[in-house]
Structures are given as C-alpha cells and as structure tokens.
Chains A and B, each alone.
Chain A
Amino acid sequence: MNSLVVLPVLLPFLVGSILILLVKRHALQRWISGITMTALLVLSIILAVVVYQDGIQISELGNWEAPFGIIFVADMFATLMVVLSSIVGFTCLFFAFRTIAPVREKYYFYPFYFFLLTGVNGAFLTGDLFNLFVFFEVMLIASYILIVHGSTNYQLRESFKYVAINVFASLFFIVGVAYMYAATGTLNFAHLAERIDEMEQTGVLNVIAILFLLVFAMKGALFPLYFWLPRSYYGPPAAIAALFGGLLTKVGIYAIIRMFTLVFNHDPTFTHNIILALAGFTMFFGVLGAVSQFDFKRILSYHIISQVGYMVMGLGLYTQLAIAGAIYYIAHHIIVKAALFLFAGAAQKITGETHLKKMGGLLGSHPVLAWMFFITAISLAGIPPLSGFFSKFALILSGFEEGRYIIVTVALIVGLLTLFSMIKIFMYAFWGERKHTEEQSQMKIGSVLLPIVPLVALTIIMGFAAEPIFQYSEAIAAELLEPDVYINSVLKE
C-alpha cells in the first residue's frame, strides 16, 4: 500500500474527526487546521512530483487487488486536481480565519471543511465507480451543511433546492452503477475500460455513457442541469462560496473527463459530439446569466457555469491539444474563480454590500483590492498574457484545426460577454462615485487580502510561464488519451 496516495484523503478525514472534539477551542482549531492544510498542500505537491517522475502510483486499500478491492490511482490528472484542491483549500481556509464569525467555529465549521476536502480528494483519487459515488456523497453532505451553515432565511430557502437536486442526481448515479454492473459485471475503472474495449456490442453502453454524462453534468453544472447552482452559491460566506465555486463543480467535470477518456471511449463521434453541444449551450446560457445580473457574487456564480463549458469543450473536441487546453483551463479556473469569490467577500467586508448598484469608488479607497481584482477578472475573460488566455487559446486553436467553427465562435463570443460582465463589476463597484462611508473607506483589509495574493500570483505566473504549465497539461492529455497505461498499471498486466 502506497501511503502517499492515501494521505490526501486520510489526513483531512482524521483531522476533521479530531476537530469535532475541539470545537470549543477556537485558537487550537485554527492552528490545527492551518498546519494540516499546509501539510496537505506540501503532501499533494510531493505526490504530484512523484507521479510526474515515476508514473502512475496506485494504492490497494486493504491489500485487495483490483478489480476486487478498492484501489486509489494517482495519475497526473488526479494529482493535479489534488494539488489544486489543496491550493484552494489552503487559501480559503486562511481567508476564513480572517472573515468568518467566530460562532461558526463552534458549529463544526472546520470539521465540515475537512470532510469536504476528504470527499473531493477521494473522488479524484479513487479508481472504483461505486467508491466514487461514496466519495461524492461525503463531499455532497459536507457541502449541504456548509452551504446552509448559518441558516439564514435565504440559505434555508435555496439550500433546500440545492440539496433536493443533488439528492436526485445521486439517485441516478446509483441507477447508472446498476446498469453498468449489469452490462459489464465490474466496478473498477480500469477493468471497466478493459471489458468495454473487448465487448463487441456496445449499444446499451452508449445509453449508460449518456446517463453518466448526465449524472456528472448535474454535479458539474452543465446545460441544462445547472439550476441548483447560481442562487445557492449566494448564501454561504465568501470563503465557502470560493471553495465551492473553485472546486465543487470541477469534481463533476473531473469525473466526466475521467469517464470519457478512460471508460467510454468506444464511440467518440456520438458521445463526444453530444458533449461538445452541451459545452456550447453551457457556455452561452451561463454567460447570459452573468450578463443579466447586477450582483457581485451572483455574476461570479453564473460565470462558473459558462466556464465549465470551456472545460467540457476541450473534452468534446477530443484532441490532445484540446484536452490539454481543458486541463489548463481547469487549473486556471479553479484558481481564478476562488480568488474572485474571495474578492467579492473582501469588498463586502468593506462596504457591507454585494449589489453592484449600491457599490462604487472602491478603486479610490482600496486600490490594492481593485487591481488584484482587475487582474483576476481580465484573466477570467481570457485577456493575455494571463492564465485565462493561454487555456482558451489552446481550445480555440484546436477547434479551428478540427474545423469546429460553431463552437469556436460561441467560445469567442462568450469570452467577450465574460469580459463585459466582469467589466460591469469593475465599473459599478470600483469606478464611479464612492458609495461607502468615509469610515469604511479607511478600513484596512491587508490581512484579508493576503491569502488571495498567492492565487493572483499564480494566474500571472501561469500566463507568463505558460510553457511549462502547458507542457504539463499536454503530458496529462497524452496520458488521458492513452488509457492503456492507466489500465495496465491498475490491473498489473
């Protein structure tokens, strides 16, 4: 058993459990959380480096070999996702230290936080379909509570819808597992891939593939299954909204990419064209939502949807360049989106508002916040030379090479509308006459902004030093398009 592979799941699980007992000890909780998160970040980077150098690492839990026991598989894609989850987890945690009301700490805020990460990291690392379901459930139940944490009227109202839709999605996950088990008699990803490869008749597999696409699309907020997202993300505190906005839908996207490169690659002209169409609609309707809103956090929530479209577009194009672009995009998006939500929180901390028409002139009173936001916002819109540009560019170039002009056109238009809505935030909240009080404009928020600095730095670095990042993404794409390596290292053939 390779313990390094298990630690990103085990560590938050254990620490979360311990923290349940320490809820009354605020300072101690913070110390333990901070240290754990740092350790998790270091660990995940070590794991990524090990995997990059030595190839796929697997860990057979309980020493039961695949496909009979459950195994964790750390390939480059999974480890990248774990690193990203740690980065965002790290940032949001430290932001939470500065912003959340102390009473939350008494009500298991940190345990839920770590259980959420347990679920997320587990979903990235597991190599078993049903185990993926279980990790999804861990993640979701933690997310249900974090999204309603504080139980304001608004939260209760929107969380009920959020939970109901996600429970519904989970049901269909089980349905999918049932069909899959009937059709293939196995649950392990690699084993599934191998068997599907050998099966001559794949008719019903296409249907099952579409069912799983739908299930993960519900988790990943694809068109037209994203209704749960925009309003519910408005409720929780910024640190949680940022963690969710950055991370949660991407678990669904991860699962889609994993399933449709490893398992369901038998009929890409059918499945991947559907994915491409979904990508286009997702982008477009998502960004329209963002254009329609005049609230800082709501605009950002809708942008999650439109951005998810780009990632799935890469998968739909199904070339190495496109998938590399999608991977790059995921990394870029997780970082940038989390940062933007945190900026919304910081702005709200100053002004007490998130509605744009009640905000104004923050550039004058808080220039550092304004410029950090500006950089991140234009990065989201794909303005060079930041991370957003290169990821979008790879996707667009690949789309042109494949002659998929419609989706490329949609992607470009959506980019423009993204810019439009981000500039809208800047116009209302940062430019214009100051609408907050003199006292508010004196507020020092350096310590609140400090945790976000690494994220902003990353989006800049990922732009200027795009070459190594892109090579890494391409290596991941190559790995995903060559599933035999994964299958062989799991099934040891």
Chain B
Amino acid sequence: MKDFNYHSAKDSKEASKLASSSSAFLAGGMTTIPSMKLGLATYKDLIDIKNIKKLSGIKVSGKSVTIGAATKHVEVSNSKDVKKAIPSLSSLAEGIGDPQVRNRGTIGGSIANNDPSADYPSACIALNATIHTNERKIEAAKFFKGMFETALKKGELIEAIEFQIPEKSSYQKHPNPASRYAIVGVYVAKHKGDVNVAVTGAKSCVYNDKEMSKALSGNFSSSSIDGMDLDSSEMNSDMHASADFRASLVVTQAKKAVDAC
C-alpha cells in the first residue's frame, strides 16, 4: 500500500471540500482498503466520513425508510423498524459478505461503488429509492450508470438512501460459492400499481427487468414468468457461471422471490 493522507471530516461540507481527483471517501473501507492493499487503487487522500453523525441512522415514515449512507449492514439487518417496514431489505443486509464485512461495510459505500454483483443496488431499483446527496436527490433508476459507475460527480457525497415501502417484496440470491457475492440476485417488489424486478449480478450493472416486471404487474404469480426465456447475450459469463446459466437463474430467483412475497 502506498502512503496517503488520512482526513476525518466533521461534516459533509468539509468532506466535499477535501475531495479531489486523487481522493476517495472512506466509510467501511470494505472495497477501498483491499483495492489499495492489492495495488489496484492508489489515492493521495482518504476522507473518512464515518465520524459525520448525520450520515448514520435509520428513519421510518409511513411511506418510506431512509437510511443514512454511513449506516452499517449490521445496523440495517438488526433494525426492528426495517424488519417491520421492509423485511426483505433487512434480510438482504443480513446476507451481505460475512460478519466482519457487515460490521464495517456501509450502505452508501456499497451503492457508490456499484459493484455489478453487489446486493444493495437491486434494492434501490426495486424499491424506487431516492439517493440523497449533499447536492441533490437522484432517482435510483438514473443513479446506476454502468459497471462501477454512478451518477455521482467528483466530491459529491451520498448522505442517505430513501426506500419506498412496497406492499410486498423479496430478495433472492444465488451466491457465488466462493465470494458469496450474487451470481444472480433478484429483488421483486410489488408497489401499488406496478411491480419491479431488479436484477443484480447478471449483467455489467443492476437493471430492472422490464419483461418480467410487466408480466408480474399483470398477474403477480410465479406462473406468469415460469419458463420465460431471457436473452442472455448481455449477461456476464465467467468461470463461476455462463451467461445461459445466469439467464436461467434470473427467472428461477424471480420465481422464488414472488413465491416468497
């Protein structure tokens, strides 16, 4: 690991001011630190945002659950409020990584990193989330741009994620047996009016599967998507799963999610 400057910001404003083209925000550090250790990333400045009180915590209103960006996975999975309002979100958090990761990793870090096989981005899409930054509000559908790419500008800091409470929802993951990241993860949420089927792990970026969403909006039953033959041409293919296998898993996990709703 190369030398770097460590800063601990007291508020978002200071954090934003310290940011430069060779800096990174540090929350849980579950991706940043290993990347630096392996020499895959180098930064001149690391700006620690864990000590900004405003960025941690969970608030539930009648319609939404708002989670501060620096809130740890373990806090989301243990929150009685989250469990009551959106149980699938709590169980998603419980299935991330291992206890060490859940005790340090944060929701904001996961979303800002936008790993193609991370769990949280699918929750954002399925639950029509709004990403609150220090500058603006961004709809989840416009936030995730591509592999490890988001709508965030340099120095822009996620402050909170606001999830819409659905009528029913479930997240089903087929984990990579080694890393336990999603080979395919499908988050199904039934809102008043329409259904979202958010898929992570299958392609270079999380997406809402229009075909399945439409079918389920018409008839919210796993039979309405059973046997659906998805186009696998844009799906990831690696030593753990081919594109065809992923395409099949997307349907299987979606069915499981619907059945679990």
A binds B: no
Chain B interface (Cβ < 8 Å from any Cβ of A): none
